Amino acid sequence: MTDDIYQRLSMLIKDWGKELGFQAVGITDTQLGEHESHLASWLADDYHGEMKYMAAHGTKRSRPTELVPGTERIICVRLDYLKDHQAKDLIASDSNTDQKAYVARYALGRDYHKVIRKRLLKLWQRIEHFLAEAEITHHQARVFTDSAPILEKALAEKAGLGWIGKNTLLMSRDAGSWFFLGEIFTDIPLTLDAPEISSHCGSCTACMDVCPTDAFVAPYQLDATRCISYLTIEHSGAIPLELRKKIGNRIFGCDDCQIFCPWNKFANISSEPDFSPRHKLDSPTLLTLFEWSEETFLKNTEGSAIRRTGYQGWTRNIAIALGNAPYDSKIIEALSAKALVVTTMVQEHIAWAIEQQHQAQINGLPLENSLD
């Protein structure tokens, strides 16, 4: 009788998840097999850079029962976040002369942690209510969304939500990769879903070929220390000189390996209001953002994932993008003024950017003038 209740609950969880706005829900167990050795190898190669938290929890990340003792099942959810298909048009190119900034699409709206956690808690409340009506009251759960040492993509793959692609992101044949993940760890013996057992990337290497900094050392293997998302968000120090030009106008994160992935032709446009762009961050100019004071930065990034990089990191990133922009005397003026109110580390990036602007000015002069 109890088994029938758990089986029915497993089906209802999928329905409730859809009602709460999740596009997909799957259930898996706690065994992650070879993913543990993959993580260990990645850490041993120091591909995690300054992200020391990736190695700080022993085997808890790959063994869910060590993180939450008693866990038998993990409910995995997917929430789409893409608001339009215009991202490719905003990446800097030779024809981009309007000095626009590029912010990773996931960070344009409200912090996804808050959005997903709230809904996961509502989903658990429905589960608890169902169990209470069945006079089953001894089960427990914890909810997560990119907020604990968890191999989210591996769990979602095993729950049938997709496969891990060559760009190391979870891919779905129905939705590409423009989505967030969340989990409920529970001791309820729910019915398992069939895992995604094979990759559907085939011979395609579009994500690897387009990466501006050549961060993919092999299919399914990312050197985060070369990844623009890592450099502009997680990395707190100076960005290596050899990578600065490659960053282009990307000031917070990078989506190139998603933008050019053929599977993202099937990406769904999210109707979630919380993910709508704030402060016109979907197509801002670099100078407008560079003019933000620290107070303005904190105000405009309240409840946003962008705050993670901090004001100095934000200013450093925009300085690099301004250095990569077409020559404009206003850029040099803005850079020179900002140099008076930032840290020594950011000042060095500003000096580099000013030098790049002067070089762009020289390169843009007619030949006879450039020889004067």
First CA to last CA distance, the chain = 91
| CA–centroid distance for 292 within its chain | 24
Residue 63 CA to residue 151 CA, distance in Å, equals 9
DSSP strand pairing (250-252 vs 102-103): parallel
How many residues are recorded in the chain? 372
| CA–centroid distance for 275 within its chain | 14
Amino acid type, 330: K
- Judged by DSSP in three states, 76 sits in strand
Dihedral Cα 311, 235, 54, 222, nearest 10 deg: 130
Spatial CA neighbour of 87 closest among 107, 113, 111 = 107
> What are the tokens at 6?
């758990």
Q: Are 45 and 225 in contact (CB under 8 A)?
A: no
Any idea which residues carry the catalytic annotation?
146
How far from 173 is each of 12, 187, 192, CA to CA, in Å? 24, 30, 20
> What are the tokens at 224?
């985060």
Which letter, b or e, does each residue of 117-151 get, where b requires 16 or more Cβ atoms within 10 Å of its Cβ? bebbebbbebbeebbeeeeeeebebebbbeebbbb
DSSP strand pairing (170-171 vs 163-164): antiparallel
